[in-house]
Amino acid sequence: MEKLHFGTDGIRGRVGEGAINPEFVLKLGWAVGRVLAGENAGKVVIGKDTRISGYMFESALEAGLTAAGIDSLLLGPMPTPAIAYLTRTLHADAGIVISASHNPYHDNGIKFFSADGTKLSDEVELAIEAELDQPLVCVDSSSLGKAERIGDAAGRYIEFCKSTIPSRISLKGVTIVVDCAHGATYHVAPSVFDELGAKVISIGVTPDGLNINEQCGSTHPEALQRAVLEHQADVGIALDGDGDRLIMVDHKGEVLDGDELLYIIARSRMSEGRLEGGVVGTVMSNLGLEVALKRDGIDFQRARVGDRYVMELLMRDGWMLGGESSGHIICLDRTTTGDAIVSALQVLHAMIRSSLPLHELKSGMTKYPQHMINVRINGKVDLAGSAPIQAAISETEAQLGGRGRVLLRPSGTEPLVRVMIEGEDGAQVVALTRQLAAAVNEALSA
């Protein structure tokens, strides 16, 4: 059965359109309560980021869960990975996050964690969708759920983050600029690094409900780059609106994406003898990451785009480290989901342990030139079954001569096919991408 509402990371869209409205979210809360707790009374943790619509959807979810006989533990604005952690430590049946991650304020979404702090399985999501088709039936008044606000949630999560690096590691003498994207980490991230001894300069920490991710955070690191250079900081840390993506800036103002950060963490762990298995990236991970890891004898595998698919491969092979170019990094030996603060601490640990600046730590990996063109489509397309497209791909790969790679991928959220090529020669990569995109567009038009 195909899912109608759930995407690769919950349900997301523009507020007031489609499923992102209070009536649907109320029904969703009820359906989640019915599926996850069944006939038994249970409790669900609810957190949110700082966008203005979060108040509305928090109330709607609470009402739906209450009608299903489920208690709500309200955390207020908290990072997505904090919800995963607190769902486990508060022994809740599930965790719900109200967030549209790195999207602008006018979008919002709902995503879920199971009782063990991992994303819901496809089977559970399908069960929730099936329940949404049923009429909402309120439990007897004596069995209604209750709501409780958890006042010490931020403190609990701060202590957890600090515990993910050895207690002997101090950040004393390190100057860090932290950009919280006016999002859910604004009252958490600066405290973590400050309590570990760093000198912290905070930006993006004045959310007003409308400025989340606006020209700041992991998707817009320019403000962080300027601040690092202005304050002559050792490192800059950019988080996204819900705190699960990480981009960093070195002391020269150069940006490090998720691939480079993953490489640094993997190399550091290997040198300590703590790298369990290999590293999982995605089909979008830069070829330079794969080449650098394999040169160092570290296995590398590619998953589909989406942290849930990275997690699937990690769990299948018993590996501990994976992530995406966007900065969504999973350290399974530390936590159960992508966590920007925890990932940043792993990079800082590598810096302190090696006594090397971030700029030097990244030098072992050379990113390959990469170019992508989006080709618009009407409806679903069968790329593998199109002879002209497959012939064009083969011709492009022959021109690359084994010194690059070709990727065609339908977008999961837009009517587009993403045509991407990587290779050693940047000019050739751009030319071949344009050539292949034109061939794909011609084949699809025909």
To the query of whether residue 101 is one of the catalytic residues in this protein, the response is: yes
Record: fold of 157-364: Alpha-D-Glucose-1,6-Bisphosphate; Chain A, domain 3 (3.40.120)
Q: What is the pLDDT of residues 122-142, one digit of tens each?
A: 888 899 999 999 999 999 999
Q: How confident is the model at residue 1 (pLDDT cuts 50, 70, 90)?
A: low
Which residues fall within 8 angstroms of residue 303, CB to CB, at 6 or more apart?
Answer: 280, 281, 282, 283, 309, 310, 312, 313, 322
Domain with CATH 3.40.120.10 in the chain: 11-151, 157-364
Classify domain 11-151 at the CATH class level: alpha beta
The per-residue pLDDT of the chain, averaged, comes to 94
Q: Hey, is 379 helix, strand or coil?
A: coil
Q: Is the pLDDT of residue 40 over 70?
A: no
Residues 122-145 as b/e (b if ≥16 CB within 10 A, e otherwise) read eebbbbbbebbeeeeeebeeeebb
Q: How far apart are CA 330 and CA 409, in angstroms?
A: 23
Can you give the length of the chain in residues?
446
- Mean pLDDT in residue range 167-181: 97
What residues pair up with 202 in beta bridges, in sequence order?
A: 178
Q: Hey, is 202 helix, strand or coil?
A: strand
Q: Which helix or strand (DSSP H or E) is residue 309 part of? A: helix 307-317
Q: How far apart are CA 233 and CA 77, in angstroms?
A: 28
What pLDDT is stored for residue 103 in this prediction? 93
Both tokens of 314, joined, read 């990690």
Q: What is the pLDDT of residues 275-294, one digit of tens each?
A: 999 999 999 999 999 999 99
Both tokens of 435, joined, read 């050539």
Please say whether the beta carbons of 140 and 124 come within 8 A: no
Catalytic residue among 53, 101, 285, 326: 101
Name the CATH superfamily, with its identifier, for domain 370-445. Answer: Alpha-D-phosphohexomutase, C-terminal domain (3.30.310.50)
What pLDDT is stored for residue 224 in this prediction? 98
Q: Hey, is 416 helix, strand or coil?
A: strand
Q: How confident is the model at residue 384 (pLDDT cuts 50, 70, 90)?
A: confident
Q: What is the pLDDT of residues 47-101, one digit of tens each?
A: 999 999 999 999 999 999 999 999 999 999 999 999 999 999 999 999 999 999 9
Domain with CATH 3.30.310.50 in the chain: 370-445
Q: What is the pLDDT of residues 355-368, one digit of tens each?
A: 999 999 999 999 99
Residue 1 has a CB neighbour count (10 Å cut-off) of 7
Which residues fall within 8 angstroms of residue 367, CB to CB, at 6 or more apart?
Answer: 259, 260, 286, 288, 289
